[in-house]
Amino acid sequence: MSTSLFSPQSIPRLEIPTDALLVEGGAPISGTVRISGAKNAVLPMMAAAILAPGVSSIHNVPALRDVSTMALVLQALGIPSDRHDEILTIDTGNCRSLRAPYELVKTMRASIYVLGPLLALHGRAEVSLPGGCAWGPRPVDIHLKGMEALGARVELDGGYIVAEATRLRGAEIELPFPSVVAAGNHLMAAVLAEGTTALVNAAREPEIGALAEFLIAMGARISGAGSSRIEIEGVTSLAPTEFEVIPDRIEAGTYLIAGAMAGGAVRVVDCRPDHLEALLACLRAMEVPCGIGEDWIEVEGGERPAPLAVKTAPFPGLATDLQAQLMALAVRARGTSSLRETVYPDRFKHVSELVRLGARIQVENGTALIEGVEELSGAPVMASDLRASAALVLAGLVARGTTRVGRVYHIDRGYSGIEQKLAGLGARIRRVRE
């Protein structure tokens, strides 16, 4: 019997984990949720450990797929690491390869963080070009121009960035956009360069401040991190260190929005309220009651919020990484909200899935107009990236019936135990495997 080319037997199976989250909407949530360490602070610190051969420890490291992927990138360089009780130990004493392979970099763009440290300490780095991402192109030209400005020869060979320098030398570098990962790479390259480097228009995100603190603990001389001008005086060597990661402001923001949507009173603890001011301003504008302590924030939800008009922007502006979740809140506002995305104008993959749940959203020229509806109704939806998936879970909390969020492996990149944390607040949520 002949088989058609398009028969089910001949369709290749994709090796993608098929976990989904089932969310039963309508259960009010309340209580306390502890915030884990920041993914986007841990990843550059793991790369920075390369700069100081020996054993460094990073505390408060969450169990995340991106952390495991970065551990695999380090392993590909010959660097073992081990995570136990939220402490990650990295032994960079015997770095045997200078190549971050395509197979890993294509799954996590932040792998490019090894470029600066490998180049600075070992004089050479080969890092696969990351390629596009779920919401469009994400160039790395700023990273490459920066390495060149510090004296490296950079070329592309077979899909790899190949950068070389005997010793980098300090320079004044003005970044055309305050890219977070580019700032991290510049910092890690400049700490061992000869002379002084000034980064102008540098990212001010708290994760860059935390990376600078980590490097300072290793013996680097850095001033101005957290402002848009960072100065680095190169040193000849760095020593391994022990460091605690800052709390994840995006995870905290996600649970605050969950509370605003489905609370009850929800308190996020072990967070940094000063890292969340832009989100708090949005919640207040939406008339969500907020209380703030030294390391906690509490919101009171349940009512349909007032509509919001806001745009994302580099820190201290509203994080693009909270845009999708905030949209899930705006979907039930008492009027029409507008969310303008200025960091990634195409980061709206969640819109069509929110519409499947009954949202009314139109996107034009990087702005989403969200006409608030009274009710959402549960449906199967598909996660397309990390923050979009979180937004769909949040919408599921308030949708009538069951929402099934597929491709949960995206969420596992950046939310540690999201179903346990939400269930701890009383949400009806569980993971299913097909």
Task: Report if residue 40 touches ligand EPU, rule: CB under 6 A.
Answer: yes
Task: Report if residue 354 touches ligand EPU, rule: CB under 6 A.
Answer: no
Q: Catalytic site residue 133?
A: yes
Candidate ranges 13-21, 94-102, 241-249, 318-326; the one touching ligand EPU (CB under 6 A): 318-326
Strands (E) across 117-207 are located at: 124-128, 153-157, 160-164, 172-174, 196-200
By CB under 6 A, the residues from 115 to 134 that bind ligand EPU are none
Q: What is the rounded CA–CA span in Å between residue 83 and residue 36?
A: 14
Distance of CA 121 to the CA centre of its chain: 26
- Closer to ligand EPU by CB, 321 or 419: give it: 321
How many residues sit in the footprint of ligand EPU (CB under 6 A)?
24
Phi, psi of 351 (to 5 degrees): -60, -50
Handedness of CA 247, 251, 254, 258 (dihedral sign): negative
**Amino acid, single-letter form, for residue 159:** G
At residue 425, the 3 state secondary structure works out as coil
Task: Report if residue 335 touches ligand EPU, rule: CB under 6 A.
Answer: no
Peptide bond into 264 cis (omega under 30): yes
Q: What is the rounded CA–CA span in Å between residue 162 and residue 128?
A: 9
Task: Report if residue 278 touches ligand EPU, rule: CB under 6 A.
Answer: no
- Rg of the chain over all Cα atoms, to the nearest angstrom: 22
Sheet holding 160-164, edge to edge: 99-100, 124-128, 160-164, 153-157
Least distance in angstroms from the C-beta of 182 to ligand EPU: 5
Least distance in angstroms from the C-beta of 138 to ligand EPU: 4
Task: Report if residue 259 touches ligand EPU, rule: CB under 6 A.
Answer: no
Phi, psi of 91 (to 5 degrees): -110, 100
Q: How many residues does the chain have?
A: 434
Q: What is the rounded end-to-end Cα distance, in angstroms, of the chain?
A: 31
Phi, psi of 201 (to 5 degrees): 65, 40
Task: Report if residue 249 touches ligand EPU, rule: CB under 6 A.
Answer: no
Task: Report if residue 380 touches ligand EPU, rule: CB under 6 A.
Answer: no
- Closer to ligand EPU by CB, 76 or 210: give it: 210
Task: Report if residue 346 touches ligand EPU, rule: CB under 6 A.
Answer: no
- Closer to ligand EPU by CB, 17 or 132: give it: 132
Q: Among 93, 139, 291, 293, which residue sits at the site for ligand EPU (rule: CB under 6 A)?
A: 139
Q: Among 51, 73, 149, 180, which residue sits at the site for ligand EPU (rule: CB under 6 A)?
A: 180
Task: Report if residue 140 touches ligand EPU, rule: CB under 6 A.
Answer: yes
Query: What does DSSP say about strands 20-24 and 55-59: parallel, antiparallel, or unpaired?
Result: unpaired
Candidate ranges 90-98, 177-185, 228-236, 359-367; the one touching ligand EPU (CB under 6 A): 177-185
Q: Among 82, 103, 141, 375, which residue sits at the site for ligand EPU (rule: CB under 6 A)?
A: 141
The encoded tokens of residue 72 equal: 């695999």
Instruction: Report the candidate in 238, 206, 241 with the shortest Cα–Cα distance to residue 46.
Output: 241
- Closer to ligand EPU by CB, 155 or 177: give it: 177
CA atoms within 13 A on the CB side of 165: 26
Task: Report if residue 386 touches ligand EPU, rule: CB under 6 A.
Answer: yes
Least distance in angstroms from the C-beta of 21 to ligand EPU: 18
Alpha-carbon separation of residue 403 from 368, 378, 400, 413 (angstroms): 23, 4, 8, 21
Candidate ranges 75-83, 265-273, 314-322, 370-378; the one touching ligand EPU (CB under 6 A): 314-322
- Closer to ligand EPU by CB, 252 or 333: give it: 252
Binding site for ligand EPU (CB under 6 A): 40, 43, 109-110, 138-143, 177, 179-182, 207, 319-321, 343-344, 386-387, 414
Mind telling me the catalytic residues?
Answer: 133
